[in-house]
Structure 1
Amino acid sequence: MIVGRRELLRGGLGLSAASALPSAVFAASARGRAALGLADITIMKELGRDYSGTLRAIAAMGYSHFGFRLAGYGGGSREPSAQDKARMVRDAGLEVGVVRLPPVRPDLDRQIGDAVAIGAKVIAMSAAPPFISGRLGVATRAAFDAWLPELAALGAKCRAAGLTLAYHNHWWDLMPLDGGESPLDIILRSIAPGDLAIELDLAWCWYGGVAPLELLGRLGPRVSSMHFKDIDRKRGKSTTDHAVVVGAGEMDYAALLPRIRRLTAAVGYIEVDSPPDGLAAAAAGARFVQAHR
């Protein structure tokens, strides 16, 4: 069911249906601070210059969790291993958050083994291969259906290893596929919750014309984590150009954040896809969330 974003702020869609869910998205982390995550893509340039120093800087901003890709962000041989990343995360006083499969996944068993070895709990798939193998965001129903059993099998393999596999949505996952169901709806009815969680990107919901709160309420405890970014379609030309830090776009996160707390205890991760200054974006995101939670 697709609900327009204008309905989002009319009556808090989905709130009553989810009233029995945990009461605070910003529950205390294991280290005693309010839980707030940062996705590594926000600070990729800074991490490339000084990984451990950058982590210490974001810890000082009030972040509790750090989510990172296991490998494959383009750092080549200079990019730290998953084990080294996890060590630096913990040394900075942060918790290992959601870890991500790289865009090209030639050795899934090794990636899963790395996630287990570093003590991760959730491993995320950033996008379905049918939507990134050709024209970005475009796939046929036949190609998607052919791939879907691979997703189910990967979810079962992660569960057997003690991990939760999470599927990260983009706007295309919310659009009708060949005039029928959306990819996300197909995934939700085809794969059991025990084998697949959802990492809900609120901005891509909004971009796809779906009210984030309605979808969050409908998914309920199946949401394992969230990405918080805002949308400003007057900025730049590409979709990633339109992604800005929370509070700097059109989504009214000041109204969203208190309602999110009533819907889920999942940790929200600040994410900006290509900021000119990653540390400045991280600091602005932390300040905004801390002021409005």
Structure 2
Amino acid sequence: MALPVASVQLYSLAAEFSADPQGSLDRLAALGLRHVEAFDFVRRPDEVRAALDASGLDSPTGHAPLLSDELWTPDGSIPTPAPEVVFEAAATIGMTTVIDPFVDPARWLTEEGVADIAERLNRAADTAASFGLSVGYHNHAQEFVASFGGVTAFERFVSLTDERVAIELDLFWALTGDQDVPALVERLGSRLTAVHVKDGVVPRPNPFAPGAERLSTDVLDQRRPGQGDVPLAAALEAGRGAIRYAVIEYDRPPGDVFDDIAASLAFLTEGGFVR
């Protein structure tokens, strides 16, 4: 049974990567990583591809908005790029799957909203195919607030999307959404392409629920694997044979981000969870 490969979401080292893309990638390669998950790549695909090539890394998956009309940035909301622009950039970098990383919590509260999200992603899958790419979705915790007939909005969404649509399950955020994470991994089965390997003390109550104060990553108590609440080992075991990418991520690294990534990689390799 094939094991996944280890990767790292570059958002974990956003500041370091922005300041020194090449040096940051070189440090990841020196840790033994061979794959990354790019973010904020649409505006600079040639630069990202050149840095990856120079470091001997690739980016089989990447995060970019596909399902929202506006994209929030620290400088204010901007229109999201057209899907064709996103896919052209992804193809330049050599990706295989473009994953939408976030959809506004309010859109997950109604059946109509969930159906619209699924329909948009199914259409995006058609467009992506013309570039030789696939699409996927990455959760936070807003997808688990509402339920319809005993089924969470997240699992309703999965049922409405085409089999071509990849699911990337963030294990930390799924637990924040009060999910039995290993059981959810089992239910997703072959739809589950990737997981975000992330640990910490999950915030309570769900910070994405209606009326909750807007979440700031500055207050997250994230920790190295095995030091928090997330049943990472059980979840990875439950996904054996389905998961292709075990993606290391920290929304808020607890210490030096490269040391934290090295600890996550050691957890994955020493536990026999990646090849």
TM-score, reference length from structure 2? 0.79
- Does residue 112 (structure 1) correspond to residue 112 (structure 2)? The answer is no
Counterpart in the other structure of 1:273: 251
User: Which piece of structure 1 moves more, 172-181 or 271-280?
Assistant: 172-181
Distance 1:282 1:87, change over 3 A: same
Comparing both chains, which one has the higher relative contact order based on Cα–Cα distances under 8 Å and sequence gaps of 6 or more?
A: 1
Q: Could you tell me how far apart the structure 2 residues matched to 1:148 and 1:252 are?
A: 28
SS across alignment from 2:240: helix
SS across alignment from 1:225: strand
* TM alignment of 1:28-107, pairs within 5 A: 35-71=5-41, 81-102=44-65, 104=71, 105-107=80-82
Q: Does the 8 A contact of 1:42 with 1:281 survive in 2?
A: no
Counterpart in the other structure of 2:76: none
| Counterpart residue identity of residue 112, structure 1 | F
Percent identity, aligned pairs only? 23
Q: Does the 8 A contact of 2:115 with 2:157 survive in 1?
A: no
Shift of 1:98: 0.9
Q: Does the 8 A contact of 2:117 with 2:157 survive in 1?
A: no
SS across alignment from 1:60: helix
Distance 1:256 1:142, change over 3 A: closer
Shift of 1:214: 1.8
Q: Which has the higher helix share?
A: 1
* TM alignment of 1:160-199, pairs within 5 A: 160-177=130-147, 181-194=151-164, 196-199=165-168
Q: Which has the higher strand share?
A: 2
Query: Which residue of 210, 213, 221 maps to 2:190?
Result: 221
Unaligned runs of 5+ in 1: 1-22, 27-34, 73-79
Distance 1:292 1:267, change over 3 A: same
User: Which piece of structure 1 moves more, 184-193 or 50-59?
Assistant: 184-193
Q: Could you tell me how far apart the structure 1 residues matched to 2:180 and 2:162 are?
A: 24
| Counterpart residue identity of residue 243, structure 1 | Q
Counterpart in the other structure of 1:262: 240
C-alpha offsets along residues 134-180 of structure 1, whole Å, 9 cap, x if unaligned? Answer: 6xx86444444444422221122112321110111222213324776
Counterpart in the other structure of 1:251: 230
Shift of 1:239: 7.0
Shift of 1:282: 1.1
Shift of 1:253: 3.2
User: Which piece of structure 1 moves more, 167-176 or 35-44?
Assistant: 167-176
SS across alignment from 1:124: strand
Distance 1:191 1:121, change over 3 A: same
Q: Could you tell me how far apart the structure 2 residues matched to 1:270 and 1:44 are?
A: 14
Q: Does the 8 A contact of 2:108 with 2:143 survive in 1?
A: no
* TM alignment of 1:222-237, pairs within 5 A: 222-233=191-202
Q: Does the 8 A contact of 2:60 with 2:94 survive in 1?
A: no
Q: Could you tell me how far apart the structure 1 residues matched to 2:244 and 2:173 are?
A: 17
Aligned residues between the structures: 248
| Counterpart residue identity of residue 39, structure 1 | Q
Q: Could you tell me how far apart the structure 2 residues matched to 1:283 and 1:181 are?
A: 37
TM-score, reference length from structure 1? 0.75
Distance 1:64 1:145, change over 3 A: same
Q: Could you tell me how far apart the structure 1 residues matched to 2:224 and 2:266 are?
A: 11
SS across alignment from 1:36: strand
